[in-house]
Amino acid sequence: MRPLRAPERRYIGAEHRRDPAPSRLAYRIERLWLTPAFRLAMRAGVPFVLALSVAGGYLADEDRRAAIGTKIADTRQNIEERPEFMVSLMAIDGASDPVANAIRSMVPVDLPESSFRLDLEAMRATIAQIDAVASAELRIRKGGILQVTVTEREPAILWRGARGLEMLDAKGHRVATLLDRAARPDLPVIAGEGADDHVPEALEILAAAQPVGDRIRGLVRLGDRRWDVVLDRDQRILLPEIDPVTALQAVIALNTAQDVLGRDLTSIDMRNPDRPTVRLAEVEEETTVDMESKVSGQ
On whether the CB atoms of residues 261 and 234 are closer than 8 A, the answer is: no
Question: Cβ of 172: how many Cβ atoms within 10 Å?
Answer: 19
SS3 112: coil
User: What radius of gyration do the chain's Cα atoms show?
Assistant: 45
How far is residue 281 CA from its own chain's centroid? 52
Topology (CATH level 3) of domain 83-152 = Ubiquitin-like (UB roll) (3.10.20)
**Tens of pLDDT, residues 36-58:** 888 888 888 888 888 888 888 87
In the chain, where are the structural domains located? 83-152, 185-296
For Cα atoms 130, 134, 101, give the angle at the middle one, nearest 5 degrees.
40
Say what the pLDDT of residue 291 is. 47
Say what the pLDDT of residue 293 is. 43
Mean pLDDT by 10 residues, the chain (298 residues): 51 55 74 81 84 82 80 73 79 91 85 84 91 92 90 94 91 92 93 93 95 94 94 94 94 91 91 88 56 42
Say what the pLDDT of residue 295 is. 38
> Which residues have C-beta within 8 Å of that of residue 234, sequence separation ≥ 6?
266
On whether the CB atoms of residues 151 and 136 are closer than 8 A, the answer is: yes
* Separation of alpha carbons 143 and 139, rounded Å: 12
Say what the pLDDT of residue 292 is. 45
On whether the CB atoms of residues 109 and 90 are closer than 8 A, the answer is: yes
Say what the pLDDT of residue 74 is. 74
Rounded to a whole number of angstroms, the distance between the first and last alpha carbons of the chain is 161
Say what the pLDDT of residue 21 is. 63
Give the global pTM: 0.66
The domain made up of 185-296 is a member of CATH 3.40.50.11690:
yes
